[in-house]
Structure 1
Amino acid sequence: MSYAIIGLGKIGTAIAQAFAHKGLEVIVAGRRSLDALAAQIGPSVVPRRVDDAVKADVVILAVPFATHSEIGRTAESWHGKVVIDATNAFGVPPEELGGLPSTAALAMSFPGAKVVKAFNHLPASVLAKGARTPQGGRRVVFVSSDDDAASASVAVLVDKLGFAPIELGKIDEGGLLVQARGSTWAQLIFQDLAKFD
């Protein structure tokens, strides 16, 4: 299974650090050269162009919500891929999304992909602290998708990275708990929760 993160701002960097901490290889790509930042994060973080990153089996979108359609046009085909939506559409009027949850609207730019919402509910500064909380628990990452198998596979990745996955179900059901709507943050956004095994 190959992984890529598109966007190495604060959220993308925090996710890349989680991969590096576990020694898992991940491609990173963005609008600018990421060679120096990737080298700083760790040897398992491989900088590439966006054109190459979209070839990965699992593509994590850590970009501003408004740029997702541009990335969607980059791949020849999204069939069979998992796209993890780590974006937040805060401030985007619901009518611009056709009344849909932001992840459902975003999914239209990735035809054939299995789209999963994850890694978006924590502030970057908290996500960058890593999977373990000061109290010794595993930091929770919420996962939501209309494809149960894709949701389960992303939950496995979240677990591999050391976090505690909590599956919320369908995007327009439990997934609404981690979707910003207009100028309102959803109930679980910013909730830094931990699971104790």
Structure 2
Amino acid sequence: MPIGIIGAGAIGQALAGRLVAAGERVVISNSRGPESLRGLAHAMGPGLRPATVAEAAVEDVVVLAVPWSRLREAIRSVDVSDWQERIVIDATNPLGPPAFQAVDLGGRSSSEVVADLVPGARLVKAFNTLPPGLLGAEPGTPAGRRVIFLSGNHAGANERVARLAERLGWAAVDLGPLAVGGRLQQVPGGPLSTLSLILERWPDRTL
């Protein structure tokens, strides 16, 4: 099944590029409609299909990669009252204009807020701690694999997203439920936010 991406900014494009490079099929959308994404699809190849937001949202795995200030609008445009246990990957961060300042969430983690916006979904926080340049880069390095953090309240959904990240070349680290892991990886403020870590390769000791 294709993976749906809502949002075609820097994060959405970087993640789409990694997915397509790994042989995944991707349905990508934005608020301006499929025609605005034809050039991107031509550049990335047949693995990427432009679509409406509603079309991207019907896939079994959906990535939210829109600016925080437009998140509610994007989800409302899907017009879904029950996400029916689809996996929703939250790659957003609670940063607002004019200078990417932290948004006041009333003491909650951002993914707990997002979870309320997608009732019935199995929400997994992932792909939010790396800048677009690193997210879109080859995950494997001479030293090892770049780390992707994830967290969520559904073990099965966490495992599926971890497998996806590993298949794309990253080293997945599951931080547990949103109330704990979501805070650790939240940008800004989380102690793991913006960290670029490498899981080192074990040295070959064979003779």
TM over 0.5: yes
Cα deviation, residue 174, structure 1: 2.6
Counterpart among 43, 51, 55 of residue 52 in structure 1:
55
Structure 1: 4+ residue segments shifted above 4 A: none
Indicate yes or no: 2:154 matched with 1:151: no
- RMSD over aligned CA atoms reads 1.5
Indicate yes or no: 2:129 matched with 1:129: no
Cα deviation, residue 139, structure 1: 1.0
Query: CA contact under 8 A between 1:27 and 1:46: conserved in structure 2?
Result: yes
Q: What are the residue-to-residue correspondences of 1:76-95 with 2, within 5 Å?
A: 76=80, 77-90=82-95, 91-94=101-104
Aligned to 1:70: 73
Q: What are the residue-to-residue correspondences of 1:162-177 with 2, within 5 Å?
A: 162-177=169-184
CA distance in 1, matches of 2:54, 2:144: 38
CA distance in 2, matches of 1:190, 1:130: 17
Cα deviation, residue 75, structure 1: 4.0
CA distance in 2, matches of 1:107, 1:195: 30
Give 1:116's aligned amino acid.
V
Cα deviation, residue 85, structure 1: 0.4
Q: TM-score scaled to structure 1, two decimals?
A: 0.91
Q: TM-score scaled to structure 2, two decimals?
A: 0.86
Cα deviation, residue 138, structure 1: 1.2
Query: CA contact under 8 A between 1:58 and 1:81: conserved in structure 2?
Result: yes
Indicate yes or no: 2:34 matched with 1:36: no
Aligned to 2:4: 4
Cα deviation, residue 137, structure 1: 1.3
CA distance in 1, matches of 2:69, 2:102: 9
* Higher radius of gyration, 1 or 2: 2
Segments of structure 2 that go 5 or more residues without pairing to the other structure are 96-100, 202-207
CA distance in 2, matches of 1:148, 1:46: 30
Cα deviation, residue 186, structure 1: 1.7
Query: CA contact under 8 A between 2:4 and 2:62: conserved in structure 1?
Result: yes
Number of residue pairs aligned between Structure 1 and Structure 2: 191
